[in-house]
Amino acid sequence: MTDGPLIVQSDKTLLLEIDHELSEECRHAIAPFAELERAPEHIHTYRITPLGLWNARAALHDAEAVIDALIKYSRYPVPHALLVDIAETMARYGRLQLHMHPVHGLILTATDRTVLEEILRSKKVTPLIGKRIDEDTVAVHPSERGNIKQILLKLGWPAEDLAGYVDGEAHPISLKSESFELRQYQREAAEGFWHGGSGVVVLPCGAGKTIVGAAAMSMAGATTLILVTNTVSARQWKAELLKRTNLTEEEIGEYSGARKEIRPVTIATYQVMTTRRQGVYAHLELFDARDWGLIIYDEVHLLPAPVFRFTADIQARRRLGLTATLVREDGMEGEVFSLIGPKRYDAPWKDIEAQGYIAPADCAEVRVTLPDNERLAYAMAEPEERYRMAATTSYKNKVVKHLVDMHPDDHILVIGQYLDQLDEIATHLDVPTITGATPIKERERLFQSFRDGETRVLVVSKVANFSVDLPEAGVAIQISGTFGSRQEEAQRLGRVLRPKGDKRSAHFYTIVTRDTVDADFAAHRQRFLAEQGYAYRIVDADDLLYGTQPSD
């Protein structure tokens, strides 16, 4: 027995003692293959899953490295059966491989014949395959390349896709290397993607995911379709590409509700791609509008189901997913793995912070208590109404005002879910509001006013969760959210992580109503950031308002 910070259990859970001197080093070692489930004050619980192990395997972490990390940091002997299971699970990745054969076209080959025999007996696999070529090889219908990867993943035999990609229509794209230099992690991320041909790059908000996309475009040297969350994001991508590459205005098209331009580089919104008319997704034809050499999915963790379905049909195109967190609350991480590709690069947030590329952040959970009259209404409410009641308690307004006053020199974002609550707080603070109903031009004007310093405080809905570049923001105050969404929590912290000129820390406050479902959801929301090494200090709202609670 050693005095390690980790307890490894046979049910595939890992218990990490946070106060141990090696906890940070251990967390870093297990992050590539284990997912954080619970993060209370002293002991964090991680879980090892097959998908986590396969993602680690695709990112070139082998079973030996995983096992070595567990043995090195475990306080007690690691259960032998678990070590065997890890080795066997990781060995499942790549025993089936997709290749392109000069005569037979797309083929599925097996390095283990019994695995091939097993999957060929699945009723879900049979419609996707053609004739048996030899004992280890079967033809696959080319149009089913994505579907068979989805099915094989669900059967527990994830296929390694080595079938290659079409080059697409050539279109030279080069980086303006004279005006900026790729950071090491950006270069490694782009190269990791290019080596694999498709897959996902995970980088913190503010770490330059757009630049990684531009680097991948320069490697492809081909027409590119970029899918983004909204029109504001589309225009930010365009501005960044004009700044960082040799592309001109005429070469970049916007395909949104406002415009329908198809050019060598086309930036489209998920919203327009998933618009249905008479039950038909007419705009999904954009995928076939040109011979694209690269498709980039920004904020890939938000990918809507219709885009997933169409992505299954375009597996011969190189695909790059960009995100700050691969967490999906709908459990569709497997679809990202099989259809976009496995995780090719994942930089821990604290590593990027240590390099000075994102700001250090102080995270605080400010706990409020429901007033007596609201407590009674909450207790008698239907379960589906309780979160809204707890999240929108008027007592939060006082706390927001106090936090804004505590930071008189900072640019502040107040972020929430419920529009009536946002309007009430904006009126209380006498500041502008941006919601989904705010016209695009007005949004852009207000965001620019915030960047220029004319507006110091903005109240924003979840439209500001993603792909909004506000480097001046130094404080975020979260008043309500999308239930227990971990990725939303990460994105909201990301709004304030751009490095500050004077090296000061960012501040992220989340105001939570104790003894309600608001507190339960908050605990779930914080899991991803806890996995990245962020600790939330607990602040009592009454101490903050009426006591001597320090601001730092």
Residue ranges with strand state E in 256-347: 265-269, 294-298, 318-323, 343-346
**152-207 pLDDT tens trace:** 999 999 999 999 999 999 999 999 977 788 999 999 999 999 998 899 998 888 88
310 band by pLDDT with thresholds 50, 70 and 90: confident
How do residues 194-250 score in pLDDT, each as one tens digit? 998 899 998 888 888 999 999 999 999 999 999 998 888 899 999 999 999 999 999
pLDDT class of 551 with cuts at 50, 70, 90: very low
The CA distance from 497 to 513, in Å, is 26
- Does the fold of domain 359-546 match that of domain 96-161? no
pLDDT higher than 50, residue 327: yes
Residues 77, 71: Cα–Cα separation, whole Å: 7
Q: What is the pLDDT of residue 221?
A: 96
Distance between CA atoms of residues 419 and 423, nearest Å: 6
| Residue pLDDT, tens place only, 338-357 | 999 998 988 878 888 888 88
Q: Specify the CATH architecture of the domain 96-161.
A: 2-Layer Sandwich (3.30)
* pLDDT higher than threshold 80 for residue 41: no
| CATH tag for 184-352 (out of 3.30.420.40, 3.60.15.10, 3.40.50.300, 3.40.50.150) | 3.40.50.300
| CATH entry, 359-546, from 3.40.190.10, 3.40.640.10, 3.40.50.300, 3.40.50.850 | 3.40.50.300
Distance, in Å, from the CA atom of 301 to the CA atom of 332, rounded to the nearest integer, reads 9
Do strands 105-110 and 96-101 pair parallel, antiparallel, or not at all (unpaired)? Answer: antiparallel
Direct distance between the N- and C-terminal alpha carbons of the chain, in angstroms, rounded to an integer: 39
Domain ranges of the chain: 6-92, 96-161, 184-352, 359-546
Dihedral, CA atoms, 9, 15, 20, 23, nearest 10 degrees?
Answer: 100
DSSP, collapsed to helix, strand or coil, labels residue 36 as: strand
